[in-house]
Every structure is written in C-alpha cells, then in structure tokens.
Structure 1
C-alpha cells in the first residue's frame, strides 16, 4: 500500500497538485468571464426562470426536463467534495484554502456555462434513441478532432471511478463505521446492490431518483450546518476573517495544525474546488445534454446555478462549520491509517518553536528529518523506542499499538523508512488531526445536537455521495457508448459496481490521490477544447439573445 500510494502521489504532484494546472483552470474561467461579460452576474436571474420551465416549448427533443437535468448534474457534483473535500482542503491548506475553493466556484460558473452550451449544441441521438452529449461530441462534430474526443471519453471512464465511484463509497463506509460501527464491507455490499438497481434503469430512472434526492439532502444538511454555526456564533466573524486574512500569506501554525504556505493553500483549494463543482472537468455537460430544449444556451444558463449551489452555498456552510467549531486544529482520538502515518527517529515537541519549524519544513518537502527503520519495541501498547509519530500532518500524542483483535499489543513492529511494514494486522491509535468526512462529522457534534450531529453528516454523506455515484455511472456509460457502442454499457456498469464495493474498505488516502489524477486527465482536453471554440461560444450566445428578444420583447 505504501508503494502504491507513493507512486500515485508522485504522479499527482505533477497534475492536481501542480501550479500549471491550477493556472490553466483559473485562467480559462477568467478568460471566459471577461470575454462574455461576466455571465455569472448578468444571466443569473434568467437562469432561475429557465430552470423553472418558464420558457419551455412543447415537443422539444430530450429525455429530461431542465430541472431534472440540473438535479442530475448537481447529484454528480454535490457529494463527497462538499463534506469530505472541504474538510480535506482546510486540513491541508488551512482556512485560506476555502477562499480559493470559492474563487474556483465563481469562475467555474462561467466555465460550466460555456462547456454545457457547446456540448448541448453538438449532441447526438444514439442507436437506441437516447440523447448522447458531452465534450466528446463538440470535439468530434465541430473541432473535427476524433482523437481528442476519444481521449476525453476514455478519461471520463477513468474519472467515473476516480470521482464518482471510489471516493464516494469510501467516504460513506468510513462515516457509517465511525458513527455507528457498521462494518465497511457490509455497508459497501448493501449500497452496491442499490446502486446496481438504479443505474441499470438508465437516465430516466436516474433523473427520477435524483430530482427527489438532491432537494431533500440539501435541506437536511443546510439545517444541520446552520445549527452548528449559530451555536458557535462567537466564532463566526473570526472564521470569516481567517478565510480572507491569510489568502496570500498562508496559515501559520495553530494548535495541532503545523501551518501551510500560500502555494499549498492555493493549489489544494483550487483542486478541491474542482473536485466539488467539476467546472471545467466536462462531466456536467453529459447530464445537461439530455435536457428537453432546442436552445443550447438556455441549458448553459441552467448550468450557471450548479457551482453556486454546490460550492458557494454548500461548501461555504461546511467550511464555516469546521472553522467555527475549531476542530480543524484540534488533535482528536482516531485510528491511524498507515498511509497517513510516518514514524520519525527521535522525539519532537510541536509546542517548541524550533521543532515546530522542523516539522513544518518536513511536511512541506523543504527539508528532511531522519525516518525510523528497524524494529519498534512495544510493551502493552506503548512504544519503547525514542521515536515520534506523524499522523495526518500532525505530531501524534498518546499513541498506542493494538493487535488485529483490538487488544494492546506486546512485541515487535517492523518499520521501514518510517512506514509500518508489519504483516500481522497491528495498527496504531492516538490523538492527531483528522481529515475528510470524520473531521466534518466531529465538527457537527460541536452544537446543541451533540453526538446526533454525526447522524446528519452520515445521512447527508450517504445521500450526497450515493447520488454522485449514480450520476457518474451515467457519465461513464455515455462515454462507453461513444467509444464502443451500446454493447459496452452493461459490462461497464458491472465493473463500476464491483469497484464501488471494493472501494468501501480500501485505503482512503490512496483513493483521494487517485481521484486527483483522474480529475486532471479528464479536465485537460475539455479546457483546451472550449478555449479553441471561444468564438463559436460568443456567436451562439449572441444568436440566442437576438432570438429571445424577438420572442419575448417585454422580458428581454
């Protein structure tokens, strides 16, 4: 597992963790925002009218209404990123990472408007009579670049696992296990059966499920989040200040948090923002292509609402819950994952300025600290060697070692280059920072809800993440259809469900790293494609408004 994680992390640092991709993503959003005259402001009100069906015409081609297309696309974006992803971003980059998530969303409103409009404009009808759309169709039909279209479709299939299947069920099973003690394999098995039932029904069944799930889960989560924020009302203003005060400087060490530089907060905020709202990734256009309308721009208008709901509203709520509760900088009891843990030679104290600086530079990759290799001598769970344990980017405290039966361990634990190499099932527990869904779950307990707050996170995550897995199964099978025809859909769905089950008990850190890789590989061809079609986009938009003004002279 260590070698797999190190290999994937080595790739991810040049992709999702890189500055060049971050600048490409934000640069595309900035370009279209200026080029099209700030459509996220100008067209927001019109988008609300379109999604309610105010301008619908009878007999238009498509498989879903505007609202169903929006909720299907939202079900693909409102998921783990809103609960676990925000927590992961703050855990890595501090409060400033949330600011960059919001910037990504603001610019993403324009990016999504463009990609959905162009994809809808060049959609097709497949051999079974269903609408097929997405970036691969504008790449093929307008850019006449079938190789780019095939590349995008292939990367969408990979990303359907990296974005839609693996991290979703992993977060669900981890949350259910930490809250209710439900075995991860059991929850994975039950949800895999439910997933198979829904996705085998195709887009119409998916649309019917998501139009009910998305509003319900949003209301539950919204009420729970507000209860935490209002309970910690004295921390609301300091939380807002922390988001904006360290935007260009990074976050200094505080509590168990050892600090984060500007570049790290910037990259991780943008990366998690993309994972959350998927603007520029090219996924949502596949869902919007099914909408019943002959006007591509009108569906693009609807897409403007997605990053607003997904990131600016829901992610902001999650971020304020985590920041106002203070849990993001607290060391909390938890079981350490081997990939999150590193054992150092010698003892360190994170309350001592010199040690704090050494640990920060080590975690930032600026300097090295000797890693422990050899045998750890353990007696009744207590490590006898002079070592320090880093877990979840923090110096762990009260560390104890347990055997596979959950009893305090006595014996020898093999360690190589700071990593646990023991094959007898021993594991470590103690107090350290937490990340992802468990961090958000802990934050929700810091209110009058108490431990009941975990229920809201677990149920919200269950609905959020499960609906995301449903939507991404549709994105994947549309790409399979494009590459291999309808005959490839059933085998793909079977593989998708199998991977969904396996990920329920797989290593969380590896899954998040893999996710970062697949997101970038899918987004790259789409971003390049829409940039090449910027003139087509502007012409299409102007034509739409000219036609709209003639048909609705009093509303234009």
Structure 2
C-alpha cells in the first residue's frame, strides 16, 4: 500500500482541487440563498423537532432514530482524528474553513433530507428505500439513471474503502493498543464479531443501538471538552483570533509544525469537514428516507441539525482543545495529537476517556455506513445482494486495523469525492423542488395561530 501513496496523493489533490471544493461549497451557498438563510432562521424549530416530531406517516423508524443512524455514521473519527489531521496539515485556519463548510452544508443537508422523503420508495421486502439514487432517478428523470447508478456504486466504495471501514477500524485498534495495551488482533476480532452480530439485524437493530449510544457518547465528549476549554479559558480569545487569522494568512512554521498556506488550510478544512459531517455527500438522506413522517421539509429540518451537532459543536470542541493546549505545534498527529491535548488537562484519565469516546464514535460510524452501503447494494442488485455485501463488509472490518494511516485517509478522501459529485448535481437540479416544498410547508405552518399547539397538524 505504501508504494501507492504518491499516486493516491496525486488523485486526491486532483479530486479535492478547486473544482470539487467550488461545487461543494457553491451548492451550499446557492441553497442558502434560495432558502433565505433557513439554517439560521429555522434552527430553533429544527432542534425542537428532534424530540417533538410526531412520527406520523410511512417509514421504518422514528425521526429521532433516523437522525441517530445518520449521526452514527457522521460522528466518528472525523471529529477526533480528522480535525487533528486538518489542523496538522492546514494549521488552525483549517478550523475556520471547517466551520464555513458546515454552515453552508446545513442548507445542503436540509435539501438532502427533504428530497429523500419526497422521492422515497420501498424495496422487494417492503422496507423503505431512499437516498440520492432515488431522487436522481425519480426527480430528474429516467435518462439520469446512469448518474443514480454511479452514486450507488460510489456509496458501496465509500462503505467498503472510505468512511465506513478502514479509518474507523484503524482508529479503534490503535487507540485500544496505545491506551489499554490491547493487541490489535484481539481488538479487531472482538470488533468484527460485534459488528457482524448487530448488522445482521438490519436497520432496526442498528437504529436501536445508535439511539442509545449516540446521545451518551456526544454528551460525554462535549462534557470533557468543555472541562478542558474551561481550564484554559484565558487563552480562548487568542485561540479564536489565531483560527481566523490563519484562515486568511496561512500559518508560519512553529515547533514541530511545518507551516501551511491559505489553500492548505482551506482544502484540509473543507475536506475533513465533509468527511466529518457528510453534507453534500448524499449519505444522510439514505437514513432520512426511513423516517416516519409525511412532511419532507420537516425531515429536512431534522437532518440539518446533524451537521450543526457534528461540526459546529463536536468538531469545534476538538479544534479548540488542540489550539488551546498548543499540541498542534508538536510532533504528534491524528488521534495521538488529540490524546495529548486531553492528557494535558486530565492526565492519563484524559487519554482513556478520549479513547472510549473515539471507540464509540468509530463503532457507530461503522454501523451507519454498513446500512448505507447495504441500501445502495439493494438499489443495484436487489435484496439478493445483501448477504454477499455483508460478508465482504465484515471481512474488510477484520483487516482494517493493519493498514497504513496515511493511505487510509487519502483513499477515503478520493471515494468521498466520487460519491459527492452526482449528489451535488442532483441537489442543484432539484433546488426548485426543495424551495417549493419548503414554501408549502412554511405557508401551511404560518396559517396556524400558535406554532407550539397543533404539532400533529404540522406533521400530517
């Protein structure tokens, strides 16, 4: 694998060059303008719907569980390892570009969730089937079927070789070895058995685990991060100033940090932001489609909160921890860098707590991406393709802990880009549908005297 790294780097640089970054952020900006800053104006409503949505309508799981499955896939190593990788290469300024990608990505995620529900279907077994492959084909027309097929194939590649397996498994086995002295073989074996047991149960099993683990792990990580930030509160103004300054001037070499340019900060911040929150990637709408709701716009609002929680809260916590403690200037990289930040505040306990958070984050991401890949497999091959898909997925989990870290992240970036392109094209093409559905939903909501009384009417 190591001999392929220069070639992979060349492909990655081309894939995540100005064209894709422009398309990714440009789609978010375009949707933000057409939706009139919906991610700001409607955020309080969106956050309240997480718990108040009535779950009336066809679907496989509640809106909350659908969000948890989506968060299971997004809240992963990108929040800990990905942020550290972005800051290590792009400097503190990468955090600012991560924020920008997330802000506009909230509008993108809203559109994805809305279209997922509007154009969802059912498979041969009666389960909900939805996501970009369906809104490309049904929304844009049959002549775009090759684009839908390309997206589904790219989704399986990401599940197999990108976010879904290698980065997560690698992070789990490395962290368990460093923090608790557990052998990679033992950790990999236990992980493989657990993943196999849960994924065989399908969406209901995955959603049940995600709904229990996601809230716990998010609250735990935020709590220890807030504690670290509080211990270094004097440095917050300077840290924030450094993030903004570095975003537009680059970062000079300091300590073990080699220095970075504005483009390095922008490219790494946006790429790692997308890796973390998956806005524009087209993955979250696969889970959103399964929600029990009659309102596409309502599920869009709930989906939008995933990017807010993942990047603007959790990734920000990690970024501030790295800058406040100064570990970004050291020699450590990836999880080791974030671990050093928490160890500086809590000692050995900090490293252990981070390891537990990282393991939970990565474990749930594997579960979420197993589901995404499975739905894409059903689209391409029908329900008969599920078992072969699962066998290959589990085999890749078993081998993921023994690959080189650098190659893993590069490969993940490449397949992410392949998945994003057809989805972004569809979002732009169907933006008129998104606006019309949104205006219809808001106008019906606006006819009510009190917004917080007839929730059942809103969701019907």
Q: Normalization by structure 1: what TM-score?
A: 0.79
Work out whether 1:555 is the aligned partner of 2:451: yes
Instruction: Identify which range, 203-212 or 176-185, moves more after superposition.
Output: 176-185
Residue of structure 2 in register with 1:459 after alignment: 356
Give the root-mean-square deviation of aligned CA atoms.
Answer: 1.2
Residue of structure 2 in register with 1:437 after alignment: 335
Work out whether 1:521 is the aligned partner of 2:418: yes
After superposition, residues 336-485 of structure 1 pair within 5 angstroms as: 433-447=331-345, 449-485=346-382
Write the deviation string for residues 198-233 of structure 1: whole angstroms up to 9, x where unpaired.
Answer: 111011111110001001101111121122222223
Work out whether 1:139 is the aligned partner of 2:136: yes
Residue of structure 2 in register with 1:404 after alignment: none
Alpha-carbon distance between aligned partners in 2 of 1:3 and 1:43, rounded to the nearest angstrom: 49
Q: 1:538 aligns with which of 425, 435, 440?
A: 435
Work out whether 1:487 is the aligned partner of 2:356: no
Q: CA deviation at 1:56?
A: 4.0
Q: Normalization by structure 2: what TM-score?
A: 0.96
Residue of structure 1 in register with 2:104 after alignment: 107
Residue of structure 2 in register with 1:150 after alignment: 149
After superposition, residues 279-358 of structure 1 pair within 5 angstroms as: 279-330=279-330
Alpha-carbon distance between aligned partners in 2 of 1:233 and 1:323, rounded to the nearest angstrom: 12
Q: CA deviation at 1:43?
A: 1.3
Alpha-carbon distance between aligned partners in 2 of 1:505 and 1:443, rounded to the nearest angstrom: 26
Q: CA deviation at 1:42?
A: 1.6
Higher share of residues assigned helix: 2
Residue of structure 1 in register with 2:30 after alignment: 31
After superposition, residues 69-148 of structure 1 pair within 5 angstroms as: 69-144=66-141, 145-148=144-147
Alpha-carbon distance between aligned partners in 2 of 1:258 and 1:504, rounded to the nearest angstrom: 28
Q: Which 4+ runs in 1 deviate beyond 4 A?
A: none
Residue of structure 1 in register with 2:208 after alignment: 208
Alpha-carbon distance between aligned partners in 2 of 1:553 and 1:295, rounded to the nearest angstrom: 20
Q: CA deviation at 1:294?
A: 1.3
Q: CA deviation at 1:41?
A: 1.1
Alpha-carbon distance between aligned partners in 2 of 1:168 and 1:98, rounded to the nearest angstrom: 21
Helix, strand or coil at the partner of 1:64: coil
Flag the structure with more relative contact order, 1 or 2, with Cα contacts below 8 A and sequence separation at least 6: 2
Structure 2 unaligned segments of length 5 or more: list them.
453-460
Alpha-carbon distance between aligned partners in 2 of 1:143 and 1:7, rounded to the nearest angstrom: 35
Alpha-carbon distance between aligned partners in 1 of 2:387 and 2:52, rounded to the nearest angstrom: 33
Contact 2:55–2:291 (Cα < 8 Å) also in 1: no
Alpha-carbon distance between aligned partners in 2 of 1:306 and 1:48, rounded to the nearest angstrom: 10
Alpha-carbon distance between aligned partners in 2 of 1:243 and 1:529, rounded to the nearest angstrom: 33
Q: CA deviation at 1:250?
A: 0.4
Alpha-carbon distance between aligned partners in 1 of 2:230 and 2:177, rounded to the nearest angstrom: 28
Structure 1 unaligned segments of length 5 or more: list them.
331-432
Residue of structure 1 in register with 2:455 after alignment: none
Helix, strand or coil at the partner of 1:177: helix
Higher share of residues assigned strand: 1
